[in-house]
Amino acid sequence: MVAEAKIMTVMTREDFQKLDHDDPLACFRREFYIPQDVIYMDGNSLGAMPKAASRRVGEVTDREWGYDLIKSWNTADWFNAPQRIGDKIAKIIGADEGEVVATDSTSINLFKVLAAALMINSDRSIIVMEGSNFPTDNYIAQGLVEFLGRQHQIRFVEKDGVMDAMDDRVAVVSLTDVHYKTGHRFDMHAITARAHEHGALTVWDLCHSAGAVPVDLKGANADFAVGCGYKYLNGGPGAPAFIFVAKRHQDHVKQPLTGWWSHSAPFDFTRDYESGEGINRMLCGTQPIISLCALEVGVDIMARADIYKIREKSKKMGDLFIALAEQKCGEYGFGIASPRNAYDRGSQVSLTHPNGYAIMQALIERGVIGDFRAPDILRFGFTPLYLRYVDVWDAVDILADIMANEIWQDPKYQVRASVT
């Protein structure tokens, strides 16, 4: 950090503008709608809107729904949207065609894959999870355990305890690749290999990975994965999520939400359930087509971008953000909750501060949009497709001003909104 801080002392705003000038991803920014005077550092929570999304949604509603009506299930290929978009997402997360569908929400998909893993490893009773994971992951697992009559147990561990938590009673290890609060990354290859040595299956939650870091599900030999459409894939608020099942499990996997879209012949309208082919069996019922089509726009943009260039830029942005924050805000009591080593970090930097909530509200009012996670974390997300280096410079400048002038002390910044 000392060396980096030294470099920073000689860097200026013009140097950051120069980085933007030389940025191979700079051309993507104009594909997104970014309001004037906003520095958007919350794309890890809700990605920005691709301009093409509103055009596409207009087309789906006006022409496909409005004019072609029910014919569009065939003529506009609505019916195959989950598989079509899933195949595009597969390329972004290192999976093969036919291994991913875009459908339902991350929470619901987690329920399906956890249940599927428990049905495969039906003679085992332990689920290994990270206690500090995003709550819905743990809540879904707890609900499933309750539903199954409490015959299973969740073994909660923290990051460093994962490897040692595995033994031959473990049915499934269910982890989030990049931690939502701190941005720390697990070693997917090593953990999956260790799980397999013990006969356990793995579920990887890619909410903060898909579109942010290179993911290699196939290389890691992962069993199941889920992830979000509205974060780095820029699919829009509440966009459908995705679900991955490795090919080798597809002809025996089962999941409990056996709706008609997962049936082998949904339009035969037979009485009895029969699993569909391959990844289709992970579907449940009728999908939100308008939302799927908006998601597809974000996925198409991501598919054109080089994920390795995205990763390079986000690592650099994170490093520069940390160095600038230490230089300009070092005296104001901030801590850092993210790994300093960019390799171990996803696409965000989390600072800590006892007055984090008020500081973040003051930042948001000044146009720097990040978010706050209780009890004391200020999250700053780096989305290389539309964030500029100069935004990183300006964001830290504004933060320094808010701290130096104690702007965050204003009582209006202390009032908690329902969504933080």
Ligand X SMILES: *Cc1c(COP(=O)(O)O)cnc(C)c1O
Spatial CA neighbour of 34 closest among 401, 419, 397, 388: 388
The contact pattern for ligand X, residues 122-161, with x = CB under 6 A and - = no contact, is ------------x-xx------------------------
* Beta carbon nearer to ligand X, 235 or 276: 235
Instruction: Compute the least distance from the CB of residue 354 to ligand X, in Å.
Output: 24
As a whole number of angstroms, the distance between CA 119 and CA 136 comes to 21
- Candidates 82-90, 204-212, 266-274, 351-359; binding stretch for ligand X (CB under 6 A): 204-212
Contact positions with ligand X (CB under 6 A) in 10-69: none
Total H helices, total E strands in the chain = 13, 15
* Beta carbon nearer to ligand X, 107 or 142: 107
Q: Does 371 bind ligand X (CB under 6 A)?
A: no
Please state, in angstroms and as integers, the Cα–Cα distance from residue 394 to each residue in 20, 219, 261, following that order: 13, 39, 49
Q: Does 205 bind ligand X (CB under 6 A)?
A: yes
Q: Does 207 bind ligand X (CB under 6 A)?
A: yes
Strand order in the sheet with 241-245: 100-103, 241-245, 224-227, 201-205, 170-176, 126-130, 153-157
As a whole number of angstroms, the distance between CA 226 and CA 203 comes to 8
Provide the b/e sequence for 240-263 (b: ≥16 CB within 10 Å).
Answer: bbbbbbbeeebeebebebbebbbb
* Beta carbon nearer to ligand X, 241 or 293: 241
Number of residues counted as binding ligand X (CB under 6 A): 13
Q: Which of 112, 208, 366, 373 binds ligand X (CB under 6 A)?
A: 208
Catalytically active residues are 134, 205, 230-231, 379
Q: Which of 83, 103, 106, 338 binds ligand X (CB under 6 A)?
A: 106
Q: Does 105 bind ligand X (CB under 6 A)?
A: yes
As a whole number of angstroms, the distance between CA 408 and CA 399 comes to 10
Instruction: Compute the least distance from the CB of residue 241 to ligand X, in Å.
Output: 6
* Beta carbon nearer to ligand X, 64 or 137: 137
Instruction: Compute the least distance from the CB of residue 176 to ligand X, in Å.
Output: 4
255 CB-near residues (< 8 Å, 6+ apart): 112, 113, 115, 116, 119, 262, 281, 282
- How far is C-alpha 183 from the geometric centre of its chain's CA atoms? 11
* Beta carbon nearer to ligand X, 16 or 134: 134
* Beta carbon nearer to ligand X, 192 or 209: 209
User: What is the number of residues in the chain?
Assistant: 420
The contact pattern for ligand X, residues 234-263, with x = CB under 6 A and - = no contact, is -------x----------------------
Instruction: Compute the least distance from the CB of residue 47 to ligand X, in Å.
Output: 11
DSSP string, 44-67: TTSPPEEHHHHHHHHHIIIIIIII
Q: Which of 176, 209, 262, 347 binds ligand X (CB under 6 A)?
A: 176
Q: Does 192 bind ligand X (CB under 6 A)?
A: no
* Beta carbon nearer to ligand X, 255 or 355: 255
264 CB-near residues (< 8 Å, 6+ apart): 274, 275, 276, 277
Contact 338, 183 (CB under 8 A): yes
The binding site for ligand X (CB under 6 A) comprises 105-107, 134, 136-137, 176, 180, 205, 207-208, 228, 241
